[in-house]
Structure 1
Amino acid sequence: MVNKREKESDRESIDSKKHRKSNSSNSTEVPAKQVKVDVYANVIQFEEEESKKRSADVDADLFLETCEKLKTIFAEIAQLKTQNSSKAQEEIKAKRITGSFLFAQLKKLSRLDKVRLRAGRDALHKEKLTVDSNKLQLQNLLYEADHLRKEVQQCFQFKSQDEEIDLVDEQKFYEEAPETISRPEKTQNDEHARRLARLEWELHQRKELAAMCKTLQTAKESVAREIDSKTNRLQSLMPCLDQLLKSTRPLQDALEINIEKEWKTEKIARLLPRPLYVAYVNLSAYAEISNKLIDTRIVGDEDEAKELESTDKVENEGENAGDESDDAGDDDDDPENDGPHSSKKHHHRRQLSTVTTEVNVYKPHPLSITFKLPAAASNNGPTLSITFYFLPALRFVTVQTKLVDFETEGVAARDVLDPTKIMNCLLTNENDDNEVLHPKTKYTLHHLSLDPSTFFMKLGEHQLGKPFTWAQNLCGLNFIVSSKSTVSTFSNNEQTQETVPEIVEKMHTRLKARYQLYRQVLALEQLIGNGSKGAGTNAPSCILAQWSPITFVEYAERTLATSRFIDENLVTSNHLLYHAVLIRGSAKMDGFISVSPNFPAECPIWAITLNVNGSRLLSSNSNDIKEMEYWINSIESFKRNVSNVLILQLKRAMSSLDIFIETESIRLSSSSNEVKAEKTFLNVFRGRARSRPYKVIQNGGSVIYTQI
């Protein structure tokens, strides 16, 4: 605002000067030859020089002094105006003239101040321009210095592309490269020249290899065209072959040869995973040669298996390509360049990431194999259907079993032919579940937060069966190792062929033995409440009141009677366990029977407790019970009487109870009507141990009992 007013005052002063100039020019006649003078410019120049000669402080004092004079004149004029006289009027006029001069002087001082202000402003602007110019020049210099610093850093960090090229070593270079390229007289002493020569030799070799590659590519395309032509020719033969096959069907039917079915089966068999394929081929061959009753088939979705196979091929090709790129990257690494900057080299490496979820763990291969194993040649016995599944995520085989065209009867007998337990411990007496847990399976289960028991339980829930050790052996898998002993495994087809007959025979023997055991247990259930039925002429006096299955926990709860068998590992959770109750009068015998999974290789074991006369007798506190257990568990003709061994043992148990009660009555001289002497003894007691006569001796048409 001040600047605007100053400019307006300058403009008014200039206009007034121009007006005075015009007035003076009008009043004065200028000669025709007078030199034109710019009075305004001269005045401005004079005032500028005057402003330079005198300081602003002097002008400020002069300004104050002039103002004081004007005040005095104004006061005097005001006083004179009150006198109202002619003299006062003249003085007023004179003072007005003086005041006008003072006003002119104030204007001049104002102009001089403006001149000084404009000169200072111009000087300030000039200095600002100088400062801005210097600052801009400084910024340019700093930018150039930073740019040069970066250029220097890039030069220090520069790595030429030839450093990533794996060149031949110097000795081989001088041996193979021609002298026109190697120039040994120059390159041996000049490292840079030697590097250039080696690069030139590398370029020469690569050009030769490129030419060779082009030649081979041309040959490859030629071979591919030839293959395509032959493929088209073979495809054109397909209709002719189909027609030929249709025309030969009557001959196939006449000769009972089903070639098409075999071809289709072989085509599907190629889609099986390797373990199932090994099992299928060996089982089919064994069934064809040795046992025609074994029926082996492939079950599953063929289309899904083809899709899975194509997916696996694509993944394998990708993995192989990744491996090749890794190998090439490793070959390009130069050990001489190892240092702080070696990690900056870009090597494309394949990272294997196996995403395993709980759903994938329980997802089997789309195809499975099933073979049916009959217990007997006739159709009277059960037929066991065994299905093999392969779990790709865990790389082992599971087995699901079930009975076909056979309905079990009874309560205790039904557990004998339980499909989920019938093939337990086929090779060993140990539980097969944990034997398949090789490290990969354990790590996978740990990753999914699954313990083995939960995992095997979920396998059953998904209808996948159990991963038996013998199933892995049958399929040629060789990673199974038991916790206590190394289980024989097989990795090649010859060893698997040797194993198949052994395993199949054991399976057939197991099924046949279980069917015999089933019939025995079923017969024992029918004897409940009638002790003399089926026992021959020497009928026992006691009766079979109960024959029921029990669990291993219930068996183990009878600590005093059964603990020694469990401690000696004669009875495990895989055994079939039963509870028999024999009653005669007030006497009661509890028999706890354990049947081994390897029956009939091992005889059933009885553990006995006897409640008589208010006392509870066990083998641990009574020699009589110990002898009774020995007599029941030691059947000399056990292996010749596999079909009725339990009935024989029950008969011995019943006769032993009768003998104990009758001899005990004799010992106590009891005349109770409850006990009637029905047995004939040579000696009631014998020896220092007072042994009782449990052993049976035929005496013509009668039976005599004597000590063991």
Structure 2
Amino acid sequence: MCVQKVTTEDPHQQMLARLEWELEQRKELAGKLKEAQTSREKISQEIQKKEDYLDTLQPKLQAILEVTRPVQNYLKMPYDDVREQQQTARHLPLPLYVLYMQASAYQQACDKFLKVTIEGNVDEAKSMDLDMPEIDDDSDSDQDAEEQEKRTSKRRRKTQEARLAEKRQRVIRKHPLCVNLEITAKDGSVLHLTFFFLPTLHIITVGVKVVPSKDVSTNSITGGDLMSPQTVLDELYPGDHGETTPNPANQYELGRYGMGEFGQYVDRVGRPYMWAQWLGGLQFLDLTESDTPSGSTSMTVRAKTSISATYMQQSIKRLRQRLKARLGLLRQLSSLEQGVVPLSGSVIKKFPAKIVSRLSSWKRITLDDLEGLPHAKRLVEGGFVSRNDLLFCAVLERGSAKLMAHIIVSVDYPEVAPLFLISIAWQSHRTALTDMHVKELEEEVNIHYEELVVDKTHDQLLSAQVQRLLVAFDVYLETETLDLTAPVEIPKEKVIPRMYRGPSRSKPYKYVPELAVFTQR
């Protein structure tokens, strides 16, 4: 108590106590500082150690991924490629992004023979401004400016023309990234589809390429253009030729810069098929159905996943069927040009073993050739023939008798059966307009063709109809030999219990394979 009292009352003792306390505090803080510094150095060493580990981890992971690539390829699980494609997909415009994601989903779930990839320059896609500002000068002001330039200098006129050319190029400019679909047929043939997006016009265009397999004979004179990129996908859906833009607002945009119709640019930018818009989630209204004011270019359609999902499966199926049908038609044409009717065993059973008539000629004709035939006039005027149909002329012979068949093959073959127009030159010229039996022969080939499709041989329909025409031509000639004046060059080769039936004296064109006889329908 005495010491405390002295310390409390003595200023000198108070100073000594205070200094002693500060010394203890300094020692304690110095200890804590040393501990903190030690801990900091330890943590820094740990951080540096982890950083060094992470620096070496990336090359190791990359090396591991490289080592696993053969395994991924063997198991058909290209995880690295999928990851890279998905990273690239982030830079796709919305319609192409919708198309890529829906096509990839369909490929994984339903179609292992479909390949979906993205190509293009990612750096350009990152820097590209899709929301391009509207060019505020209209066509009238452009014309006024041009007139003013003509009154000033030739140099400035060239500058104005260069600006206009740049604006026109901008209208049909494609996005740097595109989506590729590869559809592979069972025989190894591949249909390559490249989907582009035109930001200004807000439409999707398609570039087409067909690569037939080595087993497919492409040496066809009459079918040389069957795989043409311009026509191979014509009318995949009815009326869709890919020659006009489906976006009604585009005609105003093109007219604004005097660019004419969109059809003149399809070779440069691709064809804007309607199904391509649907796969990208775009669905435009017809101009007559749209309530957009006349002359407006503000018609923007947003891509919707639901639209793409609705049309994806049926469109891929139609594309695959079109590829198969064209390849099958190409094989048939190659054989028919040589006078051989190619048929599988299951279809041959539908016909008699012996056919005397032969195919002597097969050639391509034009619509003008068909329109010049009197017996074809009713079909042309009735709209049964379009400018995109494939037209052929086949000549059948037996002795001195000749049958000429003009054949109309739809672009949607074999979903739409070929149509045969027949004329016979034998003692006189006969067509369906002058001979009832020729008309019946046309009906036999054109109407009852479904009997010839067995065991998934729909793609052989043209050859089966030609074969039936050969058989029916034999029947026609052999049933005409009742006349004593008929030439002996047409002997009876078929088993025909009854030559004619009914008031119209119908001929027995129907063949019954089980009995090997011919009868009337």
Which structure's CA Rg is the greater one? 1
Question: Is this contact kept in 2: 1:431–1:574, CA < 8 A?
Answer: no
My pick for the range that moved more, 254-263 or 581-590, is 254-263
Q: Would you say 1:661 and 2:474 are equivalent positions?
A: no
Q: For the structure 1 residues 483 and 660, does the alpha-carbon distance in structure 2 shift closer, same or farther, using more than 3 Å as the test?
A: farther
Partner of 2:202: 395
Partner of 1:73: none
Shift of 1:470: 0.3
Partner of 1:290: 110
Paired amino acid for 1:282: Q
Q: For the structure 1 residues 449 and 492, does the alpha-carbon distance in structure 2 shift closer, same or farther, using more than 3 Å as the test?
A: same
Question: Is this contact kept in 2: 1:542–1:584, CA < 8 A?
Answer: yes
My pick for the range that moved more, 564-573 or 494-503, is 564-573
Q: Per-residue CA shift, 1:205-242, capped at 9, x if unaligned?
A: xxxxxxxxxxxxxxxxxxxxxxxxxxxxxxxx999867
Query: Match for 1:623 among 412, 436, 446?
Result: 436
Partner of 1:305: 125
Q: Aligned equivalents of 1:445 and 1:528: distance in 2?
A: 51
What secondary structure, in the 3-state scheme, does the structure 2 residue paired with 1:436 have?
coil
Partner of 2:413: 599
Paired amino acid for 2:490: V
Query: Match for 2:359 among 535, 544, 549?
Result: 544
Q: Per-residue CA shift, 1:659-704, capped at 9, x if unaligned?
A: 22222232x322523322222322222221121221113465xx32
Q: Aligned equivalents of 2:520 and 2:231: distance in 1?
A: 40
Q: For the structure 1 residues 406 and 238, does the alpha-carbon distance in structure 2 shift closer, same or farther, using more than 3 Å as the test?
A: farther
Trace 1:356-367 onto structure 2 (pairs within 5 A). Answer: 357-367=167-177
Trace 1:88-127 onto structure 2 (pairs within 5 A). Answer: none
Query: Match for 2:377 among 527, 549, 563?
Result: 563
Paired amino acid for 1:514: R
List alignment gaps of at least 5 residues for structure 1: 1-236, 320-352
Q: For the structure 1 residues 696 and 566, does the alpha-carbon distance in structure 2 shift closer, same or farther, using more than 3 Å as the test?
A: same
Q: Would you say 1:473 and 2:282 are equivalent positions?
A: no
Shift of 1:286: 1.5
Q: For the structure 1 residues 420 and 245, does the alpha-carbon distance in structure 2 shift closer, same or farther, using more than 3 Å as the test?
A: farther
Shift of 1:268: 2.2
Query: Match for 1:503 among 310, 315, 319?
Result: 315
What secondary structure, in the 3-state scheme, does the structure 2 residue paired with 1:248 have?
helix
Q: Aligned equivalents of 1:392 and 1:529: distance in 2?
A: 50
Q: For the structure 1 residues 691 and 482, does the alpha-carbon distance in structure 2 shift closer, same or farther, using more than 3 Å as the test?
A: farther
What secondary structure, in the 3-state scheme, does the structure 1 residue paired with 2:451 have?
coil
Question: Is this contact kept in 2: 1:362–1:459, CA < 8 A?
Answer: no
Query: Match for 2:57 among 228, 232, 244?
Result: 244
Partner of 2:330: 518
Query: Match for 2:398 among 584, 591, 596?
Result: 584
Q: Would you say 1:424 and 2:234 are equivalent positions?
A: yes
Q: For the structure 1 residues 409 and 243, does the alpha-carbon distance in structure 2 shift closer, same or farther, using more than 3 Å as the test?
A: farther
Q: Aligned equivalents of 2:378 and 2:53: distance in 1?
A: 76
Paired amino acid for 2:105: A
Trace 1:277-356 onto structure 2 (pairs within 5 A). Answer: 277-309=97-129, 312=130
Paired amino acid for 2:100: Y
Q: For the structure 1 residues 490 and 509, does the alpha-carbon distance in structure 2 shift closer, same or farther, using more than 3 Å as the test?
A: farther
Q: Would you say 1:573 and 2:360 are equivalent positions?
A: no
Partner of 2:294: none
Q: Aligned equivalents of 2:289 and 2:498: distance in 1?
A: 50
Question: Is this contact kept in 2: 1:435–1:483, CA < 8 A?
Answer: no
Shift of 1:622: 2.2
Question: Is this contact kept in 1: 2:278–2:307, CA < 8 A?
Answer: no
Paired amino acid for 2:469: A
Trace 1:134-153 onto structure 2 (pairs within 5 A). Answer: none
Question: Is this contact kept in 1: 2:246–2:272, CA < 8 A?
Answer: no
Shift of 1:562: 2.8
Partner of 1:676: 491
What secondary structure, in the 3-state scheme, does the structure 1 residue paired with 2:128 have?
helix
Question: Is this contact kept in 2: 1:473–1:490, CA < 8 A?
Answer: no
Partner of 1:159: none
Shift of 1:456: 2.0
Q: Aligned equivalents of 1:238 and 1:296: distance in 2?
A: 39
Q: Aligned equivalents of 2:486 and 2:275: distance in 1?
A: 61
Shift of 1:628: 0.4
Question: Is this contact kept in 2: 1:697–1:706, CA < 8 A?
Answer: yes
Q: Aligned equivalents of 1:490 and 1:589: distance in 2?
A: 57
Q: Aligned equivalents of 1:530 and 1:244: distance in 2?
A: 63
Q: Aligned equivalents of 2:287 and 2:434: distance in 1?
A: 39
Q: Would you say how many aligned residue pairs link Structure 1 and Structure 2? A: 418
Partner of 1:374: 184
Partner of 2:10: none
Q: For the structure 1 residues 399 and 659, does the alpha-carbon distance in structure 2 shift closer, same or farther, using more than 3 Å as the test?
A: same
Partner of 1:174: none
Question: Is this contact kept in 2: 1:580–1:592, CA < 8 A?
Answer: yes
Q: Which has the higher contact order (CA 8 A, sep 6+)?
A: 2
Q: Would you say 1:494 and 2:306 are equivalent positions?
A: yes
Q: Aligned equivalents of 1:529 and 1:506: distance in 2?
A: 27
Q: Per-residue CA shift, 1:630-687, capped at 9, x if unaligned?
A: 1011123344331422222111111222222222232x32252332222232222222
Paired amino acid for 1:471: A
What secondary structure, in the 3-state scheme, does the structure 2 residue paired with 1:569 have?
coil
Query: Match for 1:264 among 84, 104, 117?
Result: 84
Partner of 2:42: none
Partner of 2:450: 636
My pick for the range that moved more, 588-597 or 262-271, is 262-271
Query: Match for 2:225 among 401, 410, 415?
Result: 415
Question: Is this contact kept in 1: 2:392–2:406, CA < 8 A?
Answer: yes
Question: Is this contact kept in 1: 2:240–2:274, CA < 8 A?
Answer: no
Paired amino acid for 2:193: I
Question: Is this contact kept in 2: 1:520–1:643, CA < 8 A?
Answer: no
Q: For the structure 1 residues 472 and 603, does the alpha-carbon distance in structure 2 shift closer, same or farther, using more than 3 Å as the test?
A: same
Q: Aligned equivalents of 2:384 and 2:452: distance in 1?
A: 18
Q: Per-residue CA shift, 1:15-50, capped at 9, x if unaligned?
A: xxxxxxxxxxxxxxxxxxxxxxxxxxxxxxxxxxxx
Q: Aligned equivalents of 1:465 and 1:374: distance in 2?
A: 21
Question: Is this contact kept in 2: 1:436–1:481, CA < 8 A?
Answer: no
Question: Is this contact kept in 2: 1:529–1:545, CA < 8 A?
Answer: no
Query: Match for 2:502 among 676, 687, 693?
Result: 687
Q: Aligned equivalents of 1:503 and 1:600: distance in 2?
A: 17
Paired amino acid for 2:183: L
Q: Aligned equivalents of 1:473 and 1:613: distance in 2?
A: 57
Paired amino acid for 1:465: G
Q: For the structure 1 residues 690 and 501, does the alpha-carbon distance in structure 2 shift closer, same or farther, using more than 3 Å as the test?
A: same
List alignment gaps of at least 5 residues for structure 2: 1-49, 136-162, 291-300
Q: For the structure 1 residues 692 and 449, does the alpha-carbon distance in structure 2 shift closer, same or farther, using more than 3 Å as the test?
A: farther
Shift of 1:457: 4.1
Trace 1:62-77 onto structure 2 (pairs within 5 A). Answer: none
What secondary structure, in the 3-state scheme, does the structure 2 residue paired with 1:636 have?
helix
Q: For the structure 1 residues 698 and 496, does the alpha-carbon distance in structure 2 shift closer, same or farther, using more than 3 Å as the test?
A: closer
Q: For the structure 1 residues 681 and 405, does the alpha-carbon distance in structure 2 shift closer, same or farther, using more than 3 Å as the test?
A: closer
Q: For the structure 1 residues 479 and 643, does the alpha-carbon distance in structure 2 shift closer, same or farther, using more than 3 Å as the test?
A: closer
Q: Per-residue CA shift, 1:577-621, capped at 9, x if unaligned?
A: 222111223322221222223333222221112222132x22223
Question: Is this contact kept in 1: 2:370–2:376, CA < 8 A?
Answer: yes
Q: Per-residue CA shift, 1:538-563, capped at 9, x if unaligned?
A: 332222121223333433333x3333
